[in-house]
Amino acid sequence: ADQSKIRNFSIIAHIDHGKSTLADRILEVTKTVEQRDMKAQLLDSMDLERERGITIKAQAVRVMFDASDGETYQLHLIDTPGHVDFSYEVSRSLAACEGALLVVDASQGVEAQTLANTYLAIDGGLELVPVLNKIDLPGAEPERVAGEVSELLGEDPDDVLRISAKTGMGVREVLDQLVQKVPAPGGDPTAAPRALIFDSEFDQYRGVIAYIRVVDGTFTKGEAIRAMAAGTEAEIDEIGFFNPAMTPTATLGPGEVGYLITGVKDVAMLRVGDTLTTKRGAATEALPGYQDVKPMVFCGLFPIDSDDYPDLRDALEKLTLNDAALSWEPETSEALGFGFRCGFLGLLHMDIVRERLEREYDLELMTTMPSVEFEVELSSREIVPVHNPSDMPDPTKIREIREPYIKASILTPKEFVGTIMELCQDKRGTHAGMQYLSADRVQLEYDLPLAEIVLDFFDQLKSRTRGYASLDYELSGLRASDLVKLDILLSGDPVDALSMVVHRTKAHDVGRVLAEKLKQKIPRQQFDVPIQAAIGSRVVARETVKAYRKDVVAKCYGGDISRKRKLLEKQKKGKARMKQVGRVEVPQEAFLAVLELG
Ligand code: GDP
Ligand code: MG
């Protein structure tokens, strides 16, 4: 390919502003996909993505565009997820691009992830092409939003394209502007070959499929390659690009984006962020890689049927191949048996992994309350990480507990500033700044404990602002806090999987609300079940689930056997998501009751 006619770009935006829809239109305008094969959000190929209407994995497609300057350009489009949980996917994609289409919903305006992604793109040295989308909507305010965009990028508001990804209006103009503004990739075709692995996927039959962006030189089918960090050596079985289906080709040259298959079966051997070179004429200097992603939220996953434990391990191993951000280790709970402690980027990520495990691997799981990772300094000065409340050391041996803090950036119409400040205060936040982005739009900054955010902060923010506020955050470090472990006892037995770590000043309230919630969630049993919340030996709240009076089976005493069996069957079904904890049947919801504390 003629290097000067290649353009690599990502589409970035706040969630729901229309990235995937715009990608669809680009596939149409460039006739990459025939109209009859077109379905909405074509690039969101995972079932889950289609159902939820969100993009989870980034995608990379090659399209050929006949521009109005008479030239044909080879564009590589990398669609990215917009949710804060997946920002690591965004930064990876950006490293493979020279430009980014910044999509802003003209009926909403600049939002928290608009800002966050814009800063990522600017940091990456990318040329930005802003567009105002959804101008077909009656509520669109292109003038106001163009003002916000120009404030952000220093662009002349009149130069910001106004489009509708839904109707296709203005989409050609976007591509015309893009090929003019975004520079061609600059790699050296004669230098030792180097390519960045910016993503990878595991295929059951073909092994690791590495998504690559060639920087220098050329990679050819059949050639021997080397992954510079891992030291892996292999031969290229197949090399190609996405159109959007995998399309084999003979070579990939400088600036080109595509995939490579070697038969390597272990993703660790072709790791995302590594640099590929050829064995012959090998490069000596690797490309800048990526920072490792760190899980922020942890929870236990336990099979309902303990026979499924090996299957769960197997499924986690497979999922990890496609999801570098997922971490896990075996965990044993007295209450729930054998399972895994898993680490996620956020609650949405946790939810998606759980759902994929259940759907794609046909497992029934119990999920425990999410927690963050604390750093505990013992009296002996030893420092231990704790990401499971039940592992919290004996309080008399603790010198200090430190918890992760985030810097939150909240964008909101100014009428909601008061209620947001109240919410942040309530979540132990400290005010760190406030700017006006326009006459009506305010950016609030708060330092907040991550533990408060992972529970219900986002939902509360949405409901208090009728969905008008948006949130972005980044980790800012650890701070010492006065935290205590709150235990839950059922019938006098502590249930390890229900323990949580809370701020001392909140322990009473949380204990009380939690006990009430559990009372609603735990069905009546044949005996009274006292529920207690306790810090150490001090009980801070108690409730009782009263025994039910009549035995269901006794009721059809003397009745025919099949009816009795049916009844029992029905009962069993209702209990599908139950776990026997001591003498008590505890349903799944109880293990997540804390998520509804707000
Ligand atoms: P993403 O999260 O940024 O990928 O956003 P999507 O492409 O999934 O779009 C979110 C929603 O906005 C979907 O319901 C789209 O149909 C809708 N949408 C996208 N572009 C437009 C547009 O130009 N006009 C209108 N009216 N709706 C749009
Ligand atoms: Mg999308």
Average pLDDT over residues 456-474: 86
**What is the pLDDT, as a whole number, of residue 425?**
95
Q: What is the dihedral of CA 386, 391, 393, 398, to 10 degrees?
A: 20
- Ion ligand 2, residue ranges at CB < 5 A: 19-20, 55
Nearest ligand to the C-alpha of residue 107?
A: 1
Separation of 388 CA from ligand 1 center, angstroms? Answer: 39
Cβ of residue 136 lying under 6 Å from some atom of ligand 1: yes
- In terms of Cβ atoms closer than 10 Å to its own Cβ (0-12, 13-18, 19+), residue 413 is middle
Q: What is the pLDDT of residues 400-448, one digit of tens each?
A: 999 999 999 999 999 999 999 999 999 999 999 999 888 888 999 999 9
Q: Residue 292 — pLDDT band, cuts 50, 70, 90?
A: low
Is 41's C-beta closer than 6 angstroms to any atom of ligand 1?
A: yes
- Counting ligands in written order, the one closest to the CA of 111 is 1
CA 185 to chain CA mean position, Å: 30
Residue-level length of the chain: 598
* pLDDT tens digits along 1-49: 799 999 999 998 888 999 889 988 998 899 887 655 556 655 555 555 5
Number of H helices, E strands in the chain: 15, 33
**130-148 pLDDT tens trace:** 999 999 999 999 999 999 9
What local confidence, expressed as pLDDT, does residue 547 receive? 86
Q: Which atom of ligand 1 is nearest to the CA of 11?
A: 3
Rounded mean pLDDT of 237-258? Answer: 92
Residue 101 has pLDDT above 50, yes or no: yes
Distance 16 CA to ligand 1 centre (A): 6
Ligand 1 atom with the shortest distance to the CA of 167 = 23
Q: What is the pLDDT of residue 86?
A: 61
Give the phi and the psi of residue 244 in degrees, each rounded to 5: -80, -10
For ligand 1, atom 14, the nearest C-alpha belongs to 16
* Ligand 1 contact, 19 CB (< 6 A): yes
The proportion of the chain whose per-residue pLDDT surpasses 70, expressed as a percent, equals 87
Tell me: pLDDT of 58 over 50. Answer: no
Mind listing the pLDDT tens digit for each residue in 476-506? Answer: 999 999 999 999 999 998 898 889 999 999 9
Over the chain, what is the mean pLDDT? 86
What pLDDT is attached to residue 54?
A: 46
500-503 and 529-535 beta bridge pairing: unpaired
Is there a binding annotation on residue 85? no
* 136 assigned binding-site residue: yes
Asked if 348 contacts 323 with a C-beta cutoff of 8 angstroms, the reply is no
> Quick one: average pLDDT of 288-306?
83
CA distance 236 to 248: 12
Ligand 2 centre from 519 Cα, in Å? Answer: 40
Tell whether residue 18 is among the known ligand binding residues.
Answer: yes
Evaluate: CB of 117 within 6 angstroms of ligand 1: no
For the segment 371-393, the average pLDDT, to the nearest whole number, is 94
Probe ligand 1: pick from 27, 166, 171, max atoms within 8 Å of CB?
166
- Judged against a pLDDT cut of 80, whether residue 397 lies above it is answered with yes
Q: Is the pTM of this model over 0.90?
A: no
The DSSP 8-state label assigned to residue 528 in this structure reads: -
Ligand 1 centroid to 477 CA: how many Å?
36
Coarse DSSP helix, strand, coil percentages of the chain, rounded to the nearest 5 percent:
30, 35, 35
Q: Is 117 marked as binding a ligand?
A: no
